[in-house]
Amino acid sequence: MEATSNRYDVAILGGGLAGLTLALQLKRQRPETSIFVAEKRPGPAPEAAFKVGESTVEISADYFARVCDMKDHIEQDELFKAGLRFFFPAGDNSDITQRVEWGDSAFAPVPTYQLDRGRFENELARRNVEAGIDLVQGAFVDEVELDGDQHSVTIVQGGPGGDRSTITARWVVDAAGRSFILRNKLGLAKDVEHDINSAWWRVGNGLVDHEEWGAHDETWMARMERPGIRRYSTTHLVGEGYWVWLIPLASNSHSIGIPNSQRPWKSGRTTSRTSSRSRSSHTGASASSRRSAGPWSGKQACSSTRSTRRARTTSRWRTRTSAI
Ligand SMILES: Cc1cc2nc3c(=O)[nH]c(=O)nc-3n(C[C@H](O)[C@H](O)[C@H](O)COP(=O)(O)OP(=O)(O)OC[C@H]3O[C@@H](n4cnc5c(N)ncnc54)[C@H](O)[C@@H]3O)c2cc1C
């Protein structure tokens, strides 16, 4: 859509996750506020291979679902997340059942989600327009002038050398991610000494089910409330100096990434602590005391997670933890 005015209360630079959710939140809380969002990408985002940032934690899941009112979309068109799951090294790592596992045996009481970023941002964009927000796609923010309470934002449409237009707004929010428009303009950049890197890609045509790698071991399989839960976790295969993440996406693909660090994780102390937590979390509640649940409905997910909480608060768990 095009801008319907040249004067707004709020101008948001960048219509990605942060920009689109903020616009929705503002509009829900203050319907009279006029909002302009400039996004440089011209059309809908592709599913699966779009952006990283797919695995939500409790606070962001609550923000997206409740504050931004996206619960219906998320619970129908995205995936429930079965918490974090770590596998620490064991031998040559060829047998996953021998690796120390840290993770929940069921879905947690507070739901979290795996979001396909393309799918999610397309739905956010649709709801922005529906809510009366002026979301202009294919609009590159070229210039921002901060001046009293009437700031100006100049956008270019139609590619380099395209049409330039300027709007004014009382508030300007930089949600342009790594373009860092205001940070660069105001000279706020700071060096970060910790040098970290990552690479990521997607594997399409079906979810990787790493639980199948351990299906030969009945005891390992029985640690979970039922088969099939592990693959909904954000799984980390941890090694010295790196980890590999596996995140399932509702677009029937898997997000795989490898972050690495010059300050490597060292085996030893960390392993023994997680080992104790893992064993106790898998032995604290009997399989029969756990209710069956799945990623299929919020209600089911909640009922399953009460038993997870019990598993974590057994006296056995506390004793072992305090003995570390
Ligand atoms: C390797 C890695 C893994 C991560 N994993 C997770 C995770 O599992 N869970 C999680 O919660 N977070 C994760 N994150 C963080 C997450 O990806 C980011 O916090 C999140 O994507 C930031 O969203 P954003 O809306 O601020 O930026 P973006 O999603 O980048 O959106 C910025 C938008 O601004 C637009 N834009 C940029 N410049 C301009 C311009 N000049 N004019 C107009 N538009 C412009 C872009 O096109 C884009 O749409 C991860 C990050 C990395 C690097």
List pLDDT tens digits, range 64-89: 999 999 999 999 999 999 999 999 99
Q: Measured in angstroms, how far is the CA atom of residue 17 from the centroid of ligand 1?
A: 7
Q: Measured in angstroms, how far is the CA atom of residue 261 from the centroid of ligand 1?
A: 21
Interior/surface letters 136-145, b for 16+ CB within 10 angstroms, e for the rest: bbbbbbbebe
Q: Give the pLDDT score at 264.
A: 62
Res 311 pLDDT > 90: no
- Count each helix (H run) and each strand (E run) in the chain, helices first: 9, 14
Secondary element (H or E) of residue 242: strand 242-249
Q: Is residue 146 within 8 Å of residue 170, measured between CB atoms? A: no
Domain ranges of the chain: 7-53+119-186, 80-114+193-322
257 phi and psi, to 5 degrees?
Answer: -145, 155
Could you tell me the pLDDT band of residue 215, with boundaries at 50, 70 and 90?
very high
Q: Give the pLDDT score at 266.
A: 59
Higher pLDDT, 225 or 1: 225
Could you tell me the pLDDT band of residue 293, with boundaries at 50, 70 and 90?
very low
3-state secondary structure at position 213: helix
Q: Give the pLDDT score at 318.
A: 25
Q: Measured in angstroms, how far is the CA atom of residue 273 from the centroid of ligand 1?
A: 33
List pLDDT tens digits, range 32-45: 999 999 999 998 99
Residue whose CA lies nearest to ligand 1 atom number 30: 177
Q: Measured in angstroms, how far is the CA atom of residue 121 from the centroid of ligand 1?
A: 11
Q: Measured in angstroms, how far is the CA atom of residue 43 from the centroid of ligand 1?
A: 17
Q: Is residue 234 within 8 Å of residue 245, measured between CB atoms? A: yes
Residue whose CA lies nearest to ligand 1 atom number 50: 53
Q: Give the pLDDT score at 267.
A: 56
Q: Measured in angstroms, how far is the CA atom of residue 174 from the centroid of ligand 1?
A: 12
List pLDDT tens digits, range 251-284: 999 999 999 887 765 555 443 333 333 333 332 2
Residue whose CA lies nearest to ligand 1 atom number 29: 16
- Give the CATH H-level superfamily of domain 7-53+119-186: FAD/NAD(P)-binding domain (3.50.50.60)
Res 248 pLDDT > 80: yes
- The minimum-distance atom of ligand 1 relative to the CA of 177 is 27
Among 39, 113, 247, say which to mutate for ligand 1: greatest number of ligand atoms within 8 Å of CB. 39
First-to-last C-alpha distance (Å) of the chain:
59
List pLDDT tens digits, range 131-164: 999 999 999 999 999 998 899 999 999 999 999 9
- The minimum-distance atom of ligand 1 relative to the CA of 198 is 1
- The minimum-distance atom of ligand 1 relative to the CA of 175 is 26
Q: Measured in angstroms, how far is the CA atom of residue 6 from the centroid of ligand 1?
A: 27
Residue whose CA lies nearest to ligand 1 atom number 31: 16
- Residues in a beta bridge with 249: 253
C-alpha span between 283 and 317 (Å, rounded): 9
Q: Measured in angstroms, how far is the CA atom of residue 178 from the centroid of ligand 1?
A: 7
Q: Give the pLDDT score at 182.
A: 97
Q: Give the pLDDT score at 141.
A: 98
Q: Give the pLDDT score at 195.
A: 81
3-state secondary structure at position 233: coil
Q: How is residue 230 annotated by DSSP?
A: G
Ramachandran assignment for 172, one of left (phi > 0), alpha (psi -120 to 50 degrees), beta (any other): beta
Pocket lined around ligand 1, Cβ cut-off 6 Å: 13-19, 38-41, 51-56, 60, 140-141, 175-177, 179, 181, 198, 200, 257
Length of the chain: 324
